[in-house]
Each structure stands twice: as C-alpha cells, then as structure tokens.
Amino acid sequence: MLGVFSSSIVSPPEELVAAGSRTPSPKITAKSLVNRFVGNNPSAVSMQIGDDVQLAYTHQNESITHPRSFAVKDEIFCLFEGALDNLGSLKQQYGLSKSANEVVLVIEAYKALRDRAPYPINQVVGHLVGNFSFVVFDKSTSTLFVATDQHGKVPLYWGITADGCVAFANDADLLKGACGKSLATFPQGCFYSTAIGELRCYENPKNKITAVPATEEEIWGAKFMVEGPSSIISATQ
C-alpha cells in the first residue's frame, strides 16, 4: 500500500530531510512514485484526492494472515494492512455490524477520536490488539493519521520524494528507489497525526522520540527511537 501527501498536508520530518542532505542520493517525484507502484502491480487501485493526496493499494502478494484493505466513509479514507485480535469486542464497542472488518473499524475509531474531543489519541490506538499498520486521511479536515502495532509485525516505511512529498508504504524497496536516504522505518508502537504535528509512542506518549543517523551502509537515513525512563529503546525491527 502507498500513501503520498504534499507538504501542505504534512511537513516533511526534519530528521529525514537532514538524512537526505547528509548523503545525497537519487530521488523521484511523488507522481513518478505512484506511477511506478501502479506499473509494478497490474491489479493496483490508485486514487487522487484533491491536489495533495494520492493513495494506492493492491492485493498482489499479500499475506493470508495480514491482508490489505481499503475503505472510505464520510470523506475519511483508510488503507489498512494486518488483522486485529480483538475485532469482535471493538465492533461491539463502536456499535458496528458483525460484517464490519478492520478498515471500517479504524475509520469509526478515528471518527470517535475526532468528534468526541478531548479524547486521548494514544488510548484509541492502544485499544487495537493485533498486527497492523494503517494510514488514515480525513479530507474534511485535511488530517493525516498513521500508526503501527507495538511489535512491528506489519512493517511500514516513510520517506520524502524529490518534490518534498511525504510517502508511506509497506514496501521498503519501493521507497528506497524514490526517496533515497530520506527514508526510515516508521517506528513500531507509534502514531503520527498532523492534528498534533509530531510522532508519539502510544504506550508512553510523554516519552520523547529521537532520530539517530544511520550508518552509510544502511539503506535507511535515520532510525527513530523511543526514549525510555533510563535508556533509549529501539522503535524499529
């Protein structure tokens, strides 16, 4: 799955900008990235949302245990990969039908977060038990919301394209060819919301997240780390 957002939606993370500046490497534009994804996946579905957002996904080569899904409701778009172990109880909590799947559940959870404020974001994501990563875009408020599970079982990566867009994808090689060294693993157990403007750990939302420059040999430009009470805990697999 792939989500690409212009700088008017999300500001490119300074750590990834710096990583790309330290080690200049070839990049391509957001449009070329989406075209490459669609070209490599004949069954891919892609969509343009206004002038600033492009989403794409495919079921090609997906895991049986971690399927990909897409849904849109009330101008809220969601790409989801993985599975929730507590989907049944969450459907009851949010008043959803028995046929509702994970991607529909995430949209409803996001709506609750948006409409019942103040409602702690970390609690909403923390209630999701399972292996997952997702990208939510709310067109009505131009809000981006991204999260991964605590164990990093469904990898997600993010990077910056040649024209300054921020891209999220489950394929590291795809982003490596598009973002150069302005690339990192999205840290496990964390969420990013443009509503608060920063990356946070949902288990310990007050803990600071720092970016450690990667070595020249690594494909990443940086590794994001969650600081613990007495040490820095790696937030990547």
d(CA 73, CA 112): 13
User: What is the band of 218 on the pLDDT scale with cuts at 50, 70, 90?
Assistant: low
User: What is the band of 104 on the pLDDT scale with cuts at 50, 70, 90?
Assistant: very high
Classify residue 128: in a domain, yes or no.
yes
Q: Is the pLDDT of residue 237 over 70?
A: no
CATH number of the domain residue 18 falls in: 3.60.20.10
Largest CA distance in the chain: 51
User: What is the band of 215 on the pLDDT scale with cuts at 50, 70, 90?
Assistant: low
Classify residue 99: in a domain, yes or no.
yes
Classify residue 198: in a domain, yes or no.
yes
Residue 195 class from Cβ within 10 Å (0-12 exposed, 13-18 middle, 19+ buried)? middle
Range of the domain at 37: 2-226
Residue-wise burial string across 152-172, b where 16 or more C-beta atoms lie within 10 A, e elsewhere: bbbbbbbbbbbeebbbbbbbb
Q: Is the pLDDT of residue 95 over 60?
A: yes
Classify residue 231: in a domain, yes or no.
no
Q: How many domains does the chain have?
A: 1
Q: Tens digit of pLDDT for each residue in 55-94? A: 999 998 888 889 999 999 999 999 999 999 999 999 999 8
User: What is the band of 230 on the pLDDT scale with cuts at 50, 70, 90?
Assistant: very low
* pLDDT value for 72: 96
∠ CA 185-188-189, nearest 5°, is 150
Classify residue 163: in a domain, yes or no.
yes
* pLDDT value for 125: 87
* pLDDT value for 235: 44
pTM of the model as a whole: 0.89
Percent pLDDT > 90 in the chain is: 57
- Decide which of 234 and 55 is more confident: 55
